[in-house]
Every structure is written in structure tokens, then in C-alpha cells.
Amino acid sequence: MSGPSVYGAALIRPGVSFAVGDDAVSVDTGVLLGDNGAVVHDPWLPPGRLEHASPLGRPPTGRRLVLFLGLEPDPYLGDWVRGLVNDLLDLDVEGRIAVPTPTAGLHLTKPCAPTEQSIRALAPEVVVALDDAAVELSAASLDRRRCHVVRLTAGTGADVVTESLRVGRWRRRIEASFGRGIDAESMADLVDRLDSARGR
């Protein structure tokens, strides 16, 4: 198969102009050659059975990784997370979803099981704890020197509150909190600030 656009993923040579649409990649000049044997993630497929994440789920390009971790089923929260994770990709931040019941819809990354194995495999730079159980699980699973924990509050505000709060028997420090009103740009800015703080 060949043509100026292809559904799914494409490997583009340097210097070739291209555009990414909702479900296809197009080049301005020339053609794309299809490899029917290649495996490509279909972003519209239902999530299916959740599995532990693999270390291969870390970004290969050095982008920062944010894991949205929740242990309590909440379809409204799951849908909110799905949208935010999709939007973060355009801002050079890779989000991963680890919730018990991810919602159907466009998933630009594959959700994984909310388990200690997933956390350790992904080794995220930031964990957004979506509930109290997620705070405790992240505290038990993470290298505290390499990862920041951020707490989602019950509110709908967009303000990011910087904290220094210790919780639970693991004495895990929550470094910031925000509500569901946060947008992708503000989330990416928070990741930048936390990343800069680690380097000091």
C-alpha cells in the first residue's frame, strides 16, 4: 500500500514535511509505503484487559513521564484523565493511565493496571495520585529521590498549590495539589517546575 497518507503510525525521514490528523499521518510530497506486518496501536480500540506496564512503556526520547494513578473506580475521573493525557503529548510530556476502569474513547497511550509492578516498570518522574490509596501505593513503590508525588483534590479548581505535606505510614511527601480544572499547559508547567527543583 502506498499514498500521501496512512492510518496509524508513520516513520518519516528527516526533512520531510508532514501533518498528523485525528486518525492519519500525511506527507506534503512523495508517498508513504505501508508495512502490513507492523503492529500499530489503534487509539480507538476499547482498552480491554489491563496488564502490568512494561519498562518499554517509558518514552524512548527522554520526555518526562507522568503517571496518573488511581485505585478507586470512577468513570468520570477516568474520562477526565484520558483527555488530559492525550493533550499532554502535544506539550512534550508523556502521560500514562493506571486506573481500574479506563473509559472508552481516544487513547493515545495504552492504559495499564494500577499496580506496584506498573509503577516500578514505568519509573515516572511525576505521579498524580488520584485518591488516597494511590498516595500510599506510590509511596511504597517509588524511588523517592527520582519521583515527585502530586495529589488531585476533590475540587474543580485550576490553581496549583505547592505543599510539603507528609501522609501515611510511609511519610510520603506530597509536593503539590490541584483540582480537575487544570489544563494540559498548566500540568506541563508543573512538571517543568518539579523537574527543575530536582536539579537544584
Assigned domain for 151 exists? yes
Confidence at residue 23, expressed as pLDDT on a 0 to 100 scale: 74
pLDDT in tens, 99-138: 999 999 999 999 999 999 999 999 999 999 999 999 999 8
Above 80 in pLDDT, residue 64?
yes
Same structural domain, 85 and 141: yes
Q: How many domains does the chain have?
A: 2
* CA dist., res. 23 & res. 107, Å (int): 12
Report residue 6 as a C-alpha cell.
496512512
Same structural domain, 90 and 189: yes
Write down the pTM of the prediction. Answer: 0.79
Distances (CA, A) of 150 to 50, 103, 162: 24, 22, 9
Same structural domain, 68 and 143: yes
CATH of the domain at 182: 3.40.50.280
* CA dist., res. 43 & res. 196, Å (int): 32
Same structural domain, 27 and 59: no
Assigned domain for 161 exists? yes
Number of H helices, E strands in the chain: 4, 11
Confidence at residue 130, expressed as pLDDT on a 0 to 100 scale: 97
The residue among 61 and 170 whose pLDDT is bigger is: 61
Same structural domain, 75 and 144: yes
DSSP letter for 34, please: P
Confidence at residue 141, expressed as pLDDT on a 0 to 100 scale: 81
Above 70 in pLDDT, residue 163?
no
Average pLDDT of span 51-60: 92
Q: Enumerate residues 6+ apart whose C-beta is below 8 A from 1.
A: 33, 34, 36
Same structural domain, 26 and 106: no
